[in-house]
């Protein structure tokens, strides 16, 4: 059975987002009018099945198909994340021995500091590691010396991270980042380390971004520089209509944002976060992502941090040019369909 691709039915997206809402109380009849197969497919595509299992395991109305697949996804992910946590601890100690204090990014933060309290629900493919400026090459070489195999054909100079590294023994994938996101530089990396926090319950010395930087990074990653992100393109082109982008919203990533806002609200200085976003040229990304978090997850945010209708004509023009060029390449047969790595539990 083929896996459905976005854009998904906005009503179904809203239903699943309502079930995923932090602190939400799930009614017994929450799936009464939902197609079980479509529900399971969407949950599998965005890799939110582990969290949905925690929400629905006591729901008597959940169809058998949904219950079985969500339960399987949950336990697979719990086991995988336990292994990743151990691997991350080992990685931190190994880099420490060479004088490097690394920072975990994105999903890897959830292994040691999950806002909702469960380190097993966040699906991830790799460990993203940011190292202090000037230490990225030696960190990459250290992992290669340990047997990690770099991907071939990666243009290191054009990317914000070194080639993806895979450990043959267990398939662990690590990315050594020079800067937090594409288009960033030394200033972003220095800012992240300056505001970072130590990782608790780890043998070595590792860092995590502060809650504000985690939110900002999450929002920027959702847009993925817009030209290569269907969601980003929809957000820019439909700044007056949030519904146009709902079917393309990465629920796993938006859930990270929502949980940080809901469970770490006392740690968030929104004036500072907005200033940081503006400083690095991503305020509009943060505002639109915040608006989507408010729309789908009911997150309470300041209005300035949750504004969908933002004006950025330069980005809109570039997005239109990108789509026009892509259409020409498709017509000429020079561009194949995009592929996206998804979880292996559901096909």
Q: Which of these ranges, 37-41, 285-289, 325-329, has the smallest mean pLDDT?
A: 325-329
Q: Are 199 and 207 in contact (CB under 8 A)?
A: yes
Token pair belonging to 88:
């991350």
Question: Residue 175 domain-assigned?
Answer: yes
pLDDT digits (tens, 9 = 90+) for 86-113: 999 999 999 999 999 999 999 999 999 9
Question: Residue 343 domain-assigned?
Answer: no
Residue 169 has a pLDDT of 94
Residue 3 has a pLDDT of 56
- Residue numbers of the domain that contains 279: 10-331
pLDDT digits (tens, 9 = 90+) for 167-220: 999 999 999 999 999 999 999 999 999 999 999 989 899 999 999 999 999 999
Q: How many CB atoms lie within 10 A of CB 105?
A: 24
Residue 276 has a pLDDT of 98
Question: Residue 144 domain-assigned?
Answer: yes
327 vs 89, more confident: 89
Which CATH number goes with the domain that contains 135? Answer: 3.30.460.40
Question: Residue 319 domain-assigned?
Answer: yes
Question: Residue 46 domain-assigned?
Answer: yes
Q: How confident is the model at residue 325 (pLDDT cuts 50, 70, 90)?
A: very low
Average pLDDT over residues 48-58: 95
Residue 321 has a pLDDT of 45
Q: How many CB atoms lie within 10 A of CB 226?
A: 22
pLDDT > 90 in the chain, percent? 76
Q: Which of these ranges, 124-138, 205-219, 223-237, has the smallest mean pLDDT?
A: 223-237
Q: What per-residue string of b and e applies to 281-317 under the rule 16 or more CB within 10 Å gives b?
A: ebbbbbbbbbbbbbbbbebebeeebbbbebebeebee
Question: Residue 167 domain-assigned?
Answer: yes
SS3 category, 335: coil
Q: What pTM did the predictor assign?
A: 0.89
Cα angle, residue 289 at apex, residues 287 and 292 outer, rounded to 5°: 110
Residue 332 pLDDT > 50 = yes
Q: Are 74 and 53 in contact (CB under 8 A)?
A: yes
- Our count of domains for the chain comes to 1
Residue 24 has a pLDDT of 84
Residue 341 pLDDT > 50 = no
Give the whole-angstrom CA distance, residue 196 versus residue 194: 6
For 58-102, the DSSP string reads T-TTS-HHHHHHHHHHHHHHHHHHHHHHHHHHHHHHHHHTTT---
How far apart, in Å, are the Cα atoms of 105 and each of 23, 88, 219? 25, 11, 13
Half-sphere exposure of 73 (CA within 13 A, CB side): 31
Kindly compute the dihedral angle of the four CA atoms of residues 157, 160, 164, 170, in this order, to the nearest 10 degrees: 150
Give the whole-angstrom CA distance, residue 243 versus residue 234: 10
Question: Residue 347 domain-assigned?
Answer: no
Nearest-CA neighbor of 66 among 19, 107, 23, 110? 19
Question: Residue 45 domain-assigned?
Answer: yes
């Amino acid at each position: 059975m083929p896996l459905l691709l976005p854009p998904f039915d906005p009503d179904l997206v809203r239903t699943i987002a309502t079930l995923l809402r932090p602190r939400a109380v799930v009614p017994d009849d929450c799936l009464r009018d939902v197609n079980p197969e479509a529900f399971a497919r969407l949950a599998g595509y965005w890799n939110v099945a582990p969290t949905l299992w925690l929400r629905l395991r006591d729901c008597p109305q959940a169809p058998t198909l949904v219950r079985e697949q969500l339960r399987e996804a949950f336990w697979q992910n719990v086991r995988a994340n336990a292994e990743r946590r151990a691997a991350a601890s080992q990685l931190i100690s190994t880099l420490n021995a060479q004088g490097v204090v690394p920072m975990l990014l994105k999903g890897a933060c959830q292994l040691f500091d999950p806002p909702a309290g469960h380190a097993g629900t966040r699906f991830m493919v790799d460990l993203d590691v940011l190292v202090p400026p000037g230490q990225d090459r030696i960190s990459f070489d250290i992992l290669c010396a340990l047997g990690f195999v770099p991907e071939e054909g990666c243009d290191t100079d054009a990317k914000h991270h070194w080639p993806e590294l895979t450990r043959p023994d267990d398939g662990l994938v690590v990315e050594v980042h020079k800067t937090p996101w594409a288009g960033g530089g030394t200033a972003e990396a220095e800012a992240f380390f300056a505001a970072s926090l130590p990782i608790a319950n780890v043998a070595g010395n590792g860092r995590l971004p502060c809650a504000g930087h985690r939110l900002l990074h999450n929002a920027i990653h959702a847009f993925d520089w817009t030209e290569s992100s269907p969601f980003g393109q929809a957000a820019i082109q439909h700044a007056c209509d949030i519904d146009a982008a709902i079917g393309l919203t990465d629920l796993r990533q938006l859930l990270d944002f929502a949980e940080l806002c809901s469970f770490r609200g006392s740690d968030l200085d929104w004036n500072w976060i907005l200033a940081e976003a503006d400083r690095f040229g991503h305020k509009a990304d943060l505002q639109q992502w915040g608006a989507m978090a408010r729309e789908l997850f009911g997150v309470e945010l300041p209005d300035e941090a949750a504004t969908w209708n933002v004006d950025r004509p330069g980005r809109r023009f570039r997005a239109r040019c990108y789509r026009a060029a892509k259409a020409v390449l498709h017509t000429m047969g020079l561009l194949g369909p995009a592929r996206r790595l998804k979880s292996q539990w559901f096909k």
